[in-house]
Structure 1
Amino acid sequence: MALRFPGLSTARAALKRATLTLVALSIAVAPVSAQGGPRGLPTIRDAEIEGLLRDYMAPIFRAAGINEGVVEITLINSREFNAFVADGRRIFVNVGVLMDAKTPNEVIGVLAHETGHIVGGHLARLRQRLDGAQTMSIVAMLLGVGAVAGAMAGGSGSAGQAAAGAIMAPQEAIRRSLLSYQRGEEMAADRAAVGYLNKSGQSAKGMLTTFKRFADQVAFSKRYIDPYAQSHPMPSDRISNLQELAEKSPYYNKLDPPALQARHDLMRAKLVGFVEAGDGVTRRYPMSDQSLPAKYARAIAAYRYGALDGAIGQIDGLIAAQPNNPWFHELKGQAYLENGKPGLAVPALKRALALAPNAQLVRTMLGQALATGSGPKNADAAIAELTRATARDTKNPEAYRQLAIAFARKGQIPQADLASAQAAFAEGDYPTARQLAERAKKGLKQGTPNWLKADDIATYKPQKLN
């Protein structure tokens, strides 16, 4: 005969609730997939913006002792002002940061802060803290379950309810302890960021501008906010802790170079043109604004929402103003390509690539334009461009997809299957990638480089991150 505890079902329910609380906390800080970025996040790619962010980060990385190319920056298509580190190799930045920041220095301050997290190993230490929190939680829950069971067995309903409440109390204490730890790490990253900015001869004023913006946003609701239940320090606390340190720097009043500010303004205009609706673009950049960024945003909106001929006229005006700006030529090619005129897109994209030969996303678009055209010569040229693009940017699923199309047009189905497998793999869709790779292997000669690539994908097993 098994021992029976009348209140055990209540205890199990409380244990389940407590466990779910712990699991939710663990998920909130879990590292993302090791390949291809987090699936489901609305990431975007753009050669102009990625190049500008690399230029922003180069002096920060040098100051922090990080080798170029070790840390990647991924853009998230979200208007919220947010950036975060997912592991020791990737910084994720919402486009809202870029659209709202009026100067490069504001963005650089945000990126310097995230670099502080990477150098400080904060995510790894937080996982260790979570491991410790899990142990403490399990012990607390087991003690609470025992109290519930004992109270229920003794017929004391009120005592049982009190004991059930005691199960959740340690969870809240542990949660607040972890949040306190996170706030400490945030402050450490802030101080590290100021150090990187000083070492690279840049101002920390942009960081303070960002914190002041946050302070203004939360000022009206501050009385409803529990500062001890936040993962970040209150903006006013961050300002008071950093202002004196920042103002002591000889670079505090140093402005961004005019050329960098000009690139920043064009980048913001580009994002507005692509992210905002047509009326949103005109509100932000009315016709009375005849600056180059305003014309850039309106030209993008024109090709997206208006007649192609009028849009091309506006883009040609941009090119006349800056003939050697590769991104204006890229925009012209993109406008033609997305309006079903790949033949007209090719010359513009070739010109863009000649001006920015390392822009593999432009090369991908050129390959797409060539693959869309007719004739075997176009297919061969597309394969050459897309093969080069994927060799230099292995995490570009669109390039692999276009390569698959080009191979299929030539009837080279095993190569098309391999390229499709590589596209799925780059996106983190491993089941689909393995299925396509197995199919590709059947048509490829065993032992050849392509067969080995397919075999690597077919036998790949994602590593579990601790």
Structure 2
Amino acid sequence: MRRGVVSLAVAAAMAFQPIAASAQQARAGVIRDAEVEALLRDYATPVFGAAGIRKGSVQIVLIGDRSFNAFVADGRRMFVNVGAIMDAKTPNEMIGVIAHESGHIAGGHLQRLREQLANAQILAIVGMLLGVGGAAAGMASRDRVGNAGGGAMGIALGSQELVKRSLLAYQRSEEQAADLMALRFLQAIRQSPKGMLDTFQRFNQDAMFKTASVDPYLVSHPMPNERIANLERLAAKSPFLDVKDPPALQFRHDMARAKLFGFTAKAEEVGRRYPPSDMTRPARYARAIIAYRYKRLPEALSQVDALIREDSGNPYLWELKGQVLLEFGRAAEAIPLLRKAVSLAPSAGPIRTLLGQALVATESKAGAAEAVRELSNAVQREPEWAEGWHHLSRAYGLKGDEGMAAYAAAQAYFYSGDYNAAATQATRAKEKLPPNSPGWIKADDLLNTRPPQTP
């Protein structure tokens, strides 16, 4: 598991979200993990099919935030907090969350929200103009009435309050629509609505005291009690209400949760949740990761080896052992383990990137060609991942190809949001590469690419 950065392209898209938590979550950073991402894709694929969302058109992005939340920003990305997975006890709960967010995408809510925001801006401007006009009139009649536009200020403030309430009412209606669509998607894929209902009931318990004195017209989501009552009534009609998750899927979910706790929680919390007396594989997985994080190398390697002996076909165990060795300065030992992981999960970009990183870390020109091959494969699959381009630049540099090293560095800077550095490196790449060669053309294209603009 590795942290990344949110590119400005994502940040710009997220600016449309009128929810304060969104920017806070973006600052928490993107988490990359092949195992968790694969699990979420498996959860989402049938839901997207039921929602009519084209395969591959929506990317699921993990955010390193412990709160239970998920949201969509631009119709192309669904953001899921790691806290949502850690709190969800079953796959069905996470599938319900994904179904709800898919309802927003399928319903075109983001585009309509932009329209509502545009209308709200117009209404706010009109209200302000009325207030200014009233203030001017008040100034003109000051001597007669003794009030320089106090009523006009009321008009301006009142119009802004009306705009806010109108926008929040729109958001509440879209949340209810997404709930209904989610139930429809879940039925289409023969999933129980119980997980979705359990999630909202948990929200209700958390919010029980917070919402007692809240004005229901000043929140962006329906009130929990109202929402749960509607869901309970509709869920009871589902023929799949009592369907349980397959044991193999539940096991994968438990392993993913254990991994997230191992990488993000404090040792004390992991010890309470997964005590030494718990000898299940998820518990041992979490403890192995904690041992690695706290630099207890022999203990970490021993525990991972025991897990591999029980499940040698699990690519993520090989990846973890390779990552442990790489980060403890034993790159040469990590390489065969990461090759094994890639052979078991060939489409996992983060694992290929880790293998490329290990090959580069040996500083061996013999491994540079393989590193370029693996990292090129990774960035072709995920061209917006800056870390992959960064390691590819290092691999080209180790190989002695300065032009392509500069081009890869330009891409790394571009997707990190540093457009000036990206332009500098792209210019350098054009100077180093043969004119009109494939790399030269790509560098030129990058120079002519307009960076994303924040709305």
Q: Is the 8 A contact 1:420 1:433 kept in 2?
A: yes
Q: Deviations over 1:183-224 (max 9, x none)?
A: 000000000000000001101111110110011011123222
Is structure 2 residue 48 aligned with structure 1 residue 61?
A: yes
What residue is the counterpart of 2:88 in the other structure?
A: 101
Match of 1:115 in 2: 102
Q: Is the 8 A contact 2:349 2:378 kept in 1?
A: yes
Q: Contact conserved, 1:197 with 1:203, CA < 8 A, in 2? A: yes
TM-score (norm. length: structure 2): 0.92
The structural deviation recorded for 1:152 is 2.7
Q: Amino acid of the residue matched to residue 84 of structure 1?
A: F
Report what 1:363 is aligned to: 352
Letter paired with 1:175? K
CA distance in 2, matches of 1:336, 1:123: 44
Residues 462 and 279 of structure 1, relative CA distance in 2, 3 Å threshold: same
User: Do the aligned partners of 1:137 and 1:170 also contact (CA within 8 Å) in 2?
Assistant: yes
| Residue matched to 2:378 | 389
Query: How far does residue 300 in structure 1 lie from its aligned partner after superposition?
Result: 0.4
Q: Distance in 2 between matches of 1:40 and 1:435?
A: 27
Asked if 1 retains the 8 angstrom alpha-carbon contact of 2:186 and 2:192, the reply is: yes
State whether structure 2 residue 125 is matched by structure 1 residue 141. no
> TM-score of the superposition, structure 1-length normalised?
0.90
Aligned partners of 1:112 and 1:31: how far apart in 2? 21
Aligned to 2:22: none
How far apart are the structure 1 equivalents of 2:71 and 2:216?
Answer: 20
Establish whether residue 283 from structure 1 lines up as the match of residue 235 from structure 2.
Answer: no
Residues 39 and 428 of structure 1 are in contact (CA less than 8 Å); yes or no, is this contact kept in structure 2? no
* Preserved CA contact (<8 Å) 2:91 2:250: yes
**CA distance, structure 1, for counterparts of residue 231 and residue 152 of structure 2:** 44
Paired AA for residue 144 in structure 1 = G
The answer to whether the aligner puts 1:305 opposite 2:294 as a matched pair is yes
Match among 203, 215, 220 for residue 214 of structure 1: 203
The 1:437–1:233 alpha-carbon spacing in structure 2 relative to 1, beyond 3 Å, is same
Are 2:325 and 2:333, in contact at CA under 8 Å, matched by a contact in 1?
yes
The reply to whether residue 248 of structure 1 matches residue 237 of structure 2 is yes
Q: Secondary structure at the match of 1:222?
A: coil
CA offsets, 1:340-364, max 9 Å, x none? 1101111111111111111121111
Corresponding residue to 1:44 among 18, 21, 31: 31
Q: CA deviation at 1:306?
A: 3.1
TM-fit CA distance, 1:151? 1.5
Task: Output the CA distance in 1 between the equivalents of 2:14 and 2:314.
Answer: 44
Task: Report the secondary structure of 2:80's partner residue.
Answer: strand
Q: Which residue of 1 aligns with 2:175?
A: 186
Among 390, 409, 412, which residue is 2:401 paired with? 412
Unaligned runs of 5+ in 1: 1-25, 33-37
The answer to whether structure 1 residue 376 and structure 2 residue 365 are counterparts is: yes
Aligned equivalents of 2:363, 2:210: Cα separation in 1: 61
Alignment equivalent of 1:335, drawn from 300, 318, 324: 324
Partner letter of residue 198 of structure 2?
A: T
What residue identity is the alignment partner of 2:248?
A
Matched AA of 2:54: N
What's 1:9 paired with? none
Displacement after TM superposition at 1:375 (Å): 2.5
Is the contact made by 1:211 and 1:236 (CA closer than 8 Å) also made in structure 2?
no
Matched, 1:75 2:62: yes
Shift of 1:396: 2.1
Over residues 337-394 of structure 1, what are the superposed CA-to-partner deviations in whole Å (9 max), with x where a residue is unaligned?
A: 0111101111111111111111121111011101111421112221121122222221
- Structure 2 letter corresponding to 1:429: D
Seen in structure 2, the aligned counterparts of structure 1 residues 28 and 392 have a Cα distance that, compared at 3 Å, is closer
Mark the CA change 1:188 to 1:283 in structure 2 (over 3 Å): closer, same or farther. same
What is the aligned counterpart of 1:150 among 126, 130, 137? 137
Q: What letter is aligned with 2:349?
A: Q
Rounded to whole Å, the distance in 1 between the matches of 2:375 and 2:76 is 26
Deviation (angstroms), 1:31: 9.7
> Is 2:414 the partner of 1:425?
yes
Task: State the Cα deviation string for residues 419-452 of structure 1 (Å, max 9, x = none).
Answer: 1111122233323212211111111111111011
Match of 2:187 in 1: 198
Measured after TM superposition, the shift of residue 409 of structure 1 is 2.0
| CA distance in structure 2 between the aligned counterparts of 1:27 and 1:208, rounded to whole angstroms | 27
* Aligned partner letter, 2:44: M
Extract unaligned runs of 5+ from structure 2. Answer: 1-12, 20-24
Q: Could you tell me which residue of structure 2 aligns to residue 87 of structure 1?
A: 74
Correspondent of 2:228 among 239, 245, 259: 239
Secondary structure of 1:78's match?
coil
Q: Deviations over 1:126-153 (max 9, x none)?
A: 1111222222221111111111122133
Q: Which of 448, 451, 455 is residue 459 of structure 1 equivalent to?
A: 448
CA contact (8 A) 1:31 1:86 kept: no
Contact persistence 2:325–2:334 (CA under 8 A): yes
Please state if 1:441 is matched with 2:441.
Answer: no
Specify whether residues 193 and 75 from structure 1 end up closer, same or farther in structure 2 by C-alpha distance, changes over 3 A only.
Answer: same
SS in 2 for 1:73: strand
- The answer (yes or no) to whether the contact 1:31–1:87 under 8 Å persists in 2 is no
Which piece of structure 1 moves more, 150-159 or 183-192?
Answer: 150-159
Q: Which residue of 2 aligns with 1:223?
A: 212
CA contact (8 A) 2:26 2:63 kept: no
Alignment partner of 2:117 out of 123, 130, 136: 130
RMSD across aligned positions (CA):
1.9
1: CA distance between counterparts of 2:192 and 2:315? 30
Residues 367 and 199 (structure 1), Cα distance of their counterparts in 2 relative to 1, 3 Å cut: same
| Structure 1 residues 332 and 450, CA gap change in structure 2 (3 angstroms) | same
Cα distance between partner residues in 2 of 1:306 and 1:449:
44
The answer to whether the 8 A contact 1:109-1:207 is kept is: yes
Give the letter aligned to residue 204 of structure 1. P
